[in-house]
């Protein structure tokens, strides 16, 4: 069986790893991505807040050496889901099964005034560039704002506000600064009232102002204000945005999307095109846009394809479970476990925040790098001669 996987993020990496582990050379997998390597979403915050170097959080695809898998660095420029044929700038690919895992594209230019008068921290470039901006910020009014919904990793703006408090405190400029957080939801993590309560208590204790149920529609850099609603404005000296998210244009142009994202069967991840699957942020499957959910969906697709190759029953179904480690600042991490089942109210519980969970979060990343790239992260120190 030939499987063509578009996108080597959380979803694409998990899918190809599982297929290779289970089938080895009995499957022919081509994995396509335009970039040279993978960076975890949470590592963007680590670099932005000066806790990690860029080189330390970059996982090159050249390390991806797996039986049955060929990585191709290329830009996907057209997808024909009927023919399962894909045009890239490195040639045309066709397969028996096509899996779209191209994630969500980010569009800072879609928010008036943002490119001229603010910063975004969701792309690698944006987050990495903010490192110097934050290190030299003299203090003032900081606004962290979400500009559209849905957006990736709903806890990330809250984490950013909490980490910002620590950084400005360490730098001795917190007292002459304010931090405001603008989010579209009524609570920081709606499926987990317990986690939301802990985060709101954390905001209150640190003097972080919380503006729920609003989006930032634009910035007026000349006046230094963020425009929230018709009559609501928030003055800022430093604006940190979650930019507008949408499906990559190549996906929209392919006819796979409905209302902006790819609809899939929530149990099997099949699209309406035979033998075309979609996983992760590019779908409207009903889970939040987060790596753990992309990974869980990819695992189900892999299990179904393995069963198909072996002639067994394709019984694996997606259960909507995910867990999220939340940077709480003050060297503490909280763990939120959430289950999203189609047609049911999502439920989630909270552990921590605690210093002990810092190691759990590190192991979450380490275990993925070990499985996906076959190496230790951080690299093991060279043994003594």
Ligand X SMILES: Cc1cc2nc3c(=O)[nH]c(=O)nc-3n(C[C@H](O)[C@H](O)[C@H](O)COP(=O)(O)OP(=O)(O)OC[C@H]3O[C@@H](n4cnc5c(N)ncnc54)[C@H](O)[C@@H]3O)c2cc1C
| Interface residue list for ligand X (CB under 6 A) | 7-12, 32-35, 41-42, 44-45, 75-76, 101-103, 122, 152-153, 156, 248, 250, 280-282, 289-292, 294, 324-325
Using alpha carbons only, how large is the chain's radius of gyration in Å? 21
The pair of three-digit structure tokens given for residue 333, joined into one six-digit string: 């991490």
Query: Residue written as tokens 């957006």?
Result: 151
Select 236 or 293, whichever has its Cβ closest to ligand X. 293
Min CB(41)–ligand X separation in Å: 2
Using CB atoms, what's the residue nearest to ligand X?
9
Select 227 or 280, whichever has its Cβ closest to ligand X. 280
Number of residues in the chain = 385
Cβ distance 284 to 263 under 8 Å? Answer: yes
Long-range contacts of 17-21 (CB under 8 A, 24+ apart): 17/66, 17/371, 17/372, 18/298, 18/299, 18/302, 18/303, 18/306, 19/68, 19/69, 19/302, 19/305, 19/306, 20/66, 20/67, 20/68, 20/69
Min CB(161)–ligand X separation in Å: 13
The residue among 227, 151, 154, 147 whose CA lies nearest residue 190 is 154
> Measured on CA atoms in the order 277, 283, 285, 288, is the torsion positive or negative?
positive
Angstrom distance (rounded) from CA 134 to CA 141: 13
Min CB(31)–ligand X separation in Å: 10
Cβ distance 131 to 50 under 8 Å? Answer: yes
> Measured on CA atoms in the order 180, 40, 185, 232, is the torsion positive or negative?
positive
Select 14 or 303, whichever has its Cβ closest to ligand X. 14
3-state secondary structure of 169: helix
Select 168 or 338, whichever has its Cβ closest to ligand X. 338
Select 117 or 291, whichever has its Cβ closest to ligand X. 291
Min CB(381)–ligand X separation in Å: 26
H helices within 24-123, ranges in order? 41-48, 114-117
Min CB(283)–ligand X separation in Å: 8
Min CB(157)–ligand X separation in Å: 9
Min CB(175)–ligand X separation in Å: 27
Select 137 or 293, whichever has its Cβ closest to ligand X. 293
Select 113 or 280, whichever has its Cβ closest to ligand X. 280
């Amino acid at each position: 069986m030939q499987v063509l996987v578009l996108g080597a993020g959380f979803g694409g990496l998990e899918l190809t790893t599982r297929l290779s582990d289970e089938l080895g050379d009995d499957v022919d997998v081509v994995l396509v991505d335009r970039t040279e390597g993978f960076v975890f979403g949470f590592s963007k915050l680590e670099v932005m807040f000066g806790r990690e170097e860029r080189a330390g959080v970059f996982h090159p695809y050249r390390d991806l050496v797996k039986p049955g898998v060929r990585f191709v660095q290329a830009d996907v420029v057209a997808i024909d889901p009927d023919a399962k044929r894909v045009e890239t700038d490195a040639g045309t690919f066709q397969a028996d099964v096509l899996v779209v895992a191209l994630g969500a594209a980010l569009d800072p230019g879609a928010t008036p005034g943002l490119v001229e008068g603010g910063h975004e921290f969701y792309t690698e470039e944006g987050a990495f560039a903010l490192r110097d901006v934050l290190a030299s910020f003299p203090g003032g009014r900081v606004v962290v704002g979400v500009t559209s919904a849905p957006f990736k990793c709903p806890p990330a703006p809250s984490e950013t506000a909490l980490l910002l408090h620590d950084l400005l405190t360490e730098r001795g400029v917190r007292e002459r600064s304010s931090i405001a957080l603008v989010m579209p939801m009524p609570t920081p993590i709606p499926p987990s009232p317990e986690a939301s309560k802990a985060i709101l208590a954390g905001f209150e204790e640190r003097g972080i102002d919380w503006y729920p149920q609003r989006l930032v529609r634009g910035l007026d850099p000349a006046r230094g204000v963020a425009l929230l609603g018709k009559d609501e404005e928030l003055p800022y000296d430093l604006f940190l945005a979650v930019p507008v998210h949408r499906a990559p244009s190549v996906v929209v142009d392919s006819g796979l999307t409905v209302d902006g994202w790819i609809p899939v069967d929530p149990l099997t991840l099949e699209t309406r095109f035979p033998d075309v699957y979609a996983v992760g942020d590019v779908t409207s499957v009903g889970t939040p846009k987060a790596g753990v959910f992309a990974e869980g969906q990819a695992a189900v697709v892999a299990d179904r394809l393995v069963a198909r190759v072996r002639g067994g029953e394709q019984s694996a179904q997606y259960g909507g479970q995910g867990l999220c480690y939340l940077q709480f600042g003050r060297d503490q991490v909280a763990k939120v476990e959430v289950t999203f089942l189609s047609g049911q109210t999502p439920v989630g519980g909270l552990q921590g925040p605690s210093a002990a969970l810092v190691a759990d979060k590190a192991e979450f990343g380490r275990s993925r790098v070990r499985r996906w790239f076959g190496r230790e992260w951080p690299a093991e120190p060279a043994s003594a001669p």
